[in-house]
């Protein structure tokens, strides 16, 4: 019986990404079950049996590293039994996905013969089929349907990776408490709006908002109540804005709104938001009925040479003047 070496066996509590051993062992899955797996979908029976000769069955022990970004991979793996965990940064991080029987792994590095992009580790005993890169030309001739399925699997994996990337980017730009954009997104959206402003001379204004006496509110009602108050403020402000206005939690009890408007129009919208919050005397929360809050607002219009910091600084000065006027007010 032929054994293919892939490194040395893992014996430590945490997997070592540099070494691993797989032992060849006959599979215990029926051919009927195998044919139902996505890789062999609609492959004619004669081509199916011919292509199986290029695969070799192996067994993984718990903790063995199947793929590592530090070791070149020349194999496509089909999981028959058990499960495999995928780690993006290191084996010590949280797994980003789990592979189950019928899933393929290593298809990208199998095709381009480059380093894998993630760790794949067996948390439990697994049975796999292994296909070497050199079998690609032969399989293209005897089982083109299998190669089509491999491309479909690769496309599906790529699309999932794209969705995960978009979701992670979105999460990085969203404030976890209020569900609105955070300061990181403000920097991005300002660059975009600043470019549009320079191109078509469209006006741009920035509103700096601060919840009045928020420290006293927290001290009196508790920090959890303060969190609910901030969420209520974000929700109320969002209802008053237009689709092209951008609401951001700038930090703490401060909010920023970037809107493509002249100063007078921005002040009108700001006053409408201030009034809407003033009218909320009480609101319901998971900790019971809570008193509403008011806001003070400073407004500044963008100048041609303004950076985000200089625009915020001018709006912040206007906000300070609104506070000096007794709070629950707006200053342009």
- Residues forming the active site: 253
User: Exposed (0-12), middle (13-18) or buried (19+): which is 134, by Cβ within 10 Å?
Assistant: exposed
Residues 6+ apart with CB under 8 A from 289: 282, 283
Question: E strand or H helix at 127, and its extent?
Answer: strand 126-132
Nearest to 43 by CA among 185, 145, 156: 145
CA atoms within a 13 Å half-sphere pointing along the CA-CB vector of 161: 12
DSSP secondary structure of 41-61: TT--HHHHHHHHTTEEEEEE-
What is residue 129's three-state secondary structure? strand
Cα 312 from Cα 66, distance rounded (Å): 52
> Dihedral (C-alpha) 192, 198, 204, 210: value to the nearest 10 degrees?
50
Exposure string over 62-76, b if 16+ CB within 10 A, otherwise e: ebbbbbbbebebebb
Q: Are 186 and 250 in contact (CB under 8 A)?
A: yes
Which residues are 206's β-sheet partners? 258, 300
Cα 35 from Cα 256, distance rounded (Å): 57
Which residues are 284's β-sheet partners? 289
Separation in Å, CA 157 to CA 106, 108, 162, 263, 274? 11, 9, 9, 48, 48
Which residues are 128's β-sheet partners? 58, 79
């Amino acid at each position: 019986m032929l054994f293919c070496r892939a490194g040395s066996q893992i014996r430590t509590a945490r997997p070592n990404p540099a070494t691993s051993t797989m032992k060849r062992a006959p599979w215990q899955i029926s051919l009927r079950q195998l044919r139902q797996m996505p890789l062999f979908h609609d492959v004619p029976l004669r081509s199916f049996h011919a292509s199986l000769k290029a695969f070799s069955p192996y067994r993984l022990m718990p903790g063995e590293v199947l793929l590592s970004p530090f070791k070149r991979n020349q194999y496509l793996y089909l999981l028959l039994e058990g499960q495999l965990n995928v780690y993006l940064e290191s084996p010590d991080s949280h797994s980003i996905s789990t592979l189950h029987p019928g899933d393929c792994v290593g298809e990208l590095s199998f095709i381009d013969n480059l380093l894998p992009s993630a760790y794949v580790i067996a948390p439990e005993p697994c049975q796999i089929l292994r296909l070497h890169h050199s079998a690609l030309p032969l399989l293209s001739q005897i089982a083109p349907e299998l190669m089509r399925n491999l491309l479909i699997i690769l496309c599906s994996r790529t699309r999932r990776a794209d969705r995960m990337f978009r979701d992670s980017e979105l999460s990085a730009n969203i404030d976890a408490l209020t569900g609105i954009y955070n300061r990181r997104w403000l920097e991005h959206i300002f660059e975009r709006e600043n470019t549009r402003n320079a191109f078509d001379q469209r006006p741009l204004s920035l509103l700096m908002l601060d919840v009045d006496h928020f420290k006293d509110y927290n001290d009196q009602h508790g920090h959890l109540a303060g969190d609910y108050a901030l969420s209520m403020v974000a929700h109320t402000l969002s209802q008053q804005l237009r689709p092209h206005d951008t609401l951001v939690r700038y930090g703490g009890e401060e909010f920023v709104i970037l809107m493509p408007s002249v100063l007078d129009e921005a002040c009108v919208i700001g006053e409408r938001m201030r009034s809407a919050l003033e009218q909320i005397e009480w609101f319901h929360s998971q900790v019971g009925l809570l008193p509403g809050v008011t806001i003070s607002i400073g407004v500044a219009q963008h100048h041609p040479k303004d950076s985000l910091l200089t625009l915020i600084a001018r709006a912040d000065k206007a906000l300070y003047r609104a506070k000096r006027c007794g709070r629950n007010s707006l200053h342009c």
